[in-house]
Amino acid sequence: MSVRKLKPITPGQRFRVVNGFDAITTDKPEKSLLAPLKKSGGRNSQGKMTIRHRGGGHKRRYRVIDFKRDKQGVAATVESIQYDPNRTAFIALLKYADGEKRYVIAQNGLEVGQEVSSGSNVAPEIGNALPISEIPLGTIISCIELRPGQGAVMARSAGTFAQLMAKDGKFVTVKMPSGETRLILSTCMATIGAISNSDHQLLVSGKAGRSRWLGRRPRTRPVAMNPVDHPMGGGEGRASGGHPRSRNGIPAKGYRTRTRTKKTNKYILERRKK
């Protein structure tokens, strides 16, 4: 994977850094795994705006991803590595021995023609999904379940990974991408390897219009608002705005919002760093 810095032939390209897409092998998605994706524009079922700064954007089709990896005991071959407009990571098209095709999140180092599989008694190699109890200690993992059979919910975005630290009875200790250390049931599934497209964090959009293509509308700075609109608004001249906080008064920059009585708190051994 690599990034390319464009020549400054226009103002929008002066600082633009784009993905090299070295890992991508095709630009045509699998038609049988596409689904329509309707935009809400931040509106709820009543048509009222519940989320600001959303709307517009390029039309997309959803790629149906297999997060559960529940086709166990059947070998699959990686047919292609593809771009997915709905996520930061790349996706891989798998073709199983019985002819079925599925999309999965692509791991770093996954190559076309490589064989992957899922289930118990599977070798802990890149792209393979298996119960965490069967993964060796210290292994880099991603696409982690939090409840058996739920499907992957953790460490799914570009370049992220977790590390298996310890095993103790029916739980294992995993260090998450945020730095948090938590307990996970050993029967949960995880995939070996870090997520692809680790250079995503190096990209620079170059112009405001690119945010509009992604469906993001302009955001007004709170200090530019009036006091009636935001706690940080108002003041004579260019007032700094006081303590940073959200529109509804919740402090920003390090304030912990996790519920102290949440039942799953007992599974968190060490909180993420501030």
The CATH number linked to 187 is 2.40.50.140
**What is the CATH classification number for the domain harbouring 233?**
4.10.950.10
* Contacting residues for 211 by C-beta, under 8 A, at least 6 apart: 205
Indicate whether 219 belongs to any domain.
Answer: no
Give domain status of residue 220, yes or no.
Answer: no
Q: 123 and 233: one domain? A: no
Q: Do the beta carbons of residue 146 and residue 155 sit within 8 Å?
A: no
Tell me the residue ranges of DSSP E strands in 113-157: 115-116, 129-131, 140-142
Task: Please indicate, yes or no, if residue 273 is contained in any of the structural domains.
Answer: no
| Strand-strand pairing, 189-192 and 140-142 | antiparallel
Count the Cβ atoms, other than its own, within 10 Å of residue 119: 17
Amino acid occupying residue 59: K
pTM (predicted TM-score): 0.93
- State the Cα–Cα distance between residues 204 and 179, nearest whole angstrom: 25
List the chain pLDDT tens, one digit each, 274 residues. Answer: 689 999 999 999 999 999 999 999 999 999 999 999 999 999 999 999 999 999 999 999 999 999 999 999 899 999 999 999 999 999 999 999 999 999 999 999 999 999 999 999 999 999 999 999 999 999 999 999 999 999 999 999 999 999 999 999 999 999 999 999 999 999 999 999 999 999 999 999 999 999 999 999 999 999 999 999 999 999 999 888 889 999 999 999 989 999 999 999 999 999 988 6
- Residue 75, domain extent: 3-201
Residues 170 and 247 in one domain: no
115 and 235 inside one domain: no
Q: Among all chains, which residue has been given the structure tokens 């390897």?
A: 193
